[in-house]
């Protein structure tokens, strides 16, 4: 079915940086895809291309970053012909699609992962949660909702499972202090991090009885580990990568 105006809105959260959120396509080569690539939101759509190649309708827009922080992010897609408003967390980006066609011609389905005529989706499926998903399209989700004809393939649940680990954000003056384990002669720490800062302290811990300390920091964009051991004589070990 052809449409001139479309409105799609949803909220999602995920800890995955790659995945297809939804995809729809038609038999005439039209398609619309919303996905995450490198934790950025990518909207791709094609309102039509001709076989001679003189009209190429593929359009792709990238917005946002660090969207795999497992926080809720809201998305709104409003289309009127070739004019598109893409809103991510209240930030709206205006653009026009390529080509000369105004109508989007899709089948009565929305796919999580799909094959198209000229390219293949090899990205993994979206892993996360959707909230307040609404589509104002005569060809999308209402066909399933109104007529109760839904086809589920793969591991799909109607709730968002909270992860055991939750990301924490630090500014230049904040830190997290954890209690040590007394009477333990083993020090072990593991964590994941990402930052734009070329320098900064990541981990610092003093050993008991003033026997030394261990420090993990970033220096000129490289991670360095400094181990100071003070017993009979001072030993200093530096590891950088």
Query: Quick one: 132 and 225 in the same domain?
Result: no
Distance between CA 95 and CA 79 in Å, rounded? 10
User: What is the secondary structure of 122-148 as a DSSP string?
Assistant: -SPBP-SEEEEEEEE-TTSHHHHHHHT
Same domain, 48 and 114: yes
Residue 159 forms part of a structural domain: no
Pair 140, 44 in one domain: yes
CATH number of the structural domain spanning residue 50? 2.60.120.200
Indicate whether 157 belongs to any domain: no
The reply to whether 222 falls in a domain is yes
- Asked whether residue 180 is assigned to any structural domain, the reply reads yes
Nearest to 83 by CA among 55, 112, 61: 61
As for how many domains the chain has, the answer is 2
Domain that holds residue 40: 2-147
**Do 6 and 86 lie in a common domain?**
yes
Same domain, 179 and 127: no
Q: Tokens at residue 149, please? A: 């004809």
Q: Terminus-to-terminus CA distance in the chain, angstroms? A: 56
Quote the pLDDT of residue 60: 95
180 and 233 inside one domain:
yes
Note whether residue 185 is domain-resident: yes
Predicted local distance difference test score (pLDDT) of residue 79: 93
Give the pLDDT confidence score for residue 81 in this predicted structure: 92
pLDDT at 143: 33
The answer to whether residues 27 and 125 belong to one domain is: yes
User: Which pLDDT value is given to residue 229?
Assistant: 80
From first to last of its 241 residues, the chain has per-residue pLDDT tens of: 788 998 888 888 888 888 888 888 888 889 999 999 998 999 999 998 776 666 688 999 999 998 888 788 889 999 999 999 999 999 999 999 998 889 988 875 555 443 222 333 334 444 555 554 444 433 333 333 333 344 555 565 656 666 666 677 888 788 888 887 777 777 788 888 888 888 888 888 888 777 788 889 998 888 888 888 876 555 666 666 6
In a domain, 115, yes or no: yes
Residues 135 and 180 in one domain: no
Q: Is residue 122 part of a domain?
A: yes
181 and 116 inside one domain? no
Asked if 102 contacts 47 with a C-beta cutoff of 8 angstroms, the reply is yes
| Backbone dihedral angles phi then psi of residue 143, each to the nearest 5 degrees | -60, -40
């Amino acid at each position: 079915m052809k449409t001139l105006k479309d409105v799609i809105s949803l909220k999602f959260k995920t800890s995955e940086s790659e995945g297809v959120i939804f995809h729809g396509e038609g038999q005439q080569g039209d398609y619309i895809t919303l996905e995450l690539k490198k934790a950025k939101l990518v909207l791709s759509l094609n309102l039509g291309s001709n076989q001679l190649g003189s009209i190429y309708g593929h359009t792709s827009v990238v917005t946002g970053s660090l969207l795999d922080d497992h926080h809720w992010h809201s998305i709104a897609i409003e289309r009127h012909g070739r004019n598109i408003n893409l809103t991510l967390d209240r930030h709206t980006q205006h653009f026009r699609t390529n080509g000369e066609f105004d109508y989007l011609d899709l089948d009565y389905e929305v796919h999580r992962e799909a094959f198209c005529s000229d390219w293949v989706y090899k990205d993994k499926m979206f892993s996360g949660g959707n909230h307040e998903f609404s589509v104002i399209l005569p060809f999308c989700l209402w066909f399933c909702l109104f007529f109760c004809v839904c086809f589920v393939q793969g591991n799909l649940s109607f709730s968002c499972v909270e992860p055991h680990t939750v990301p924490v954000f630090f500014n230049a003056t904040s830190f997290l202090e954890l209690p040590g384990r007394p009477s333990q002669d083993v020090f072990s720490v593991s964590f994941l991090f990402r930052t734009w800062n070329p320098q900064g302290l990541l981990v610092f811990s003093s050993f008991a009885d003033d026997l030394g300390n261990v420090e993990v920091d970033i220096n000129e964009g490289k991670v360095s580990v400094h181990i100071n051991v003070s017993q009979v004589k001072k030993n200093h070990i530096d590891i950088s990568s």
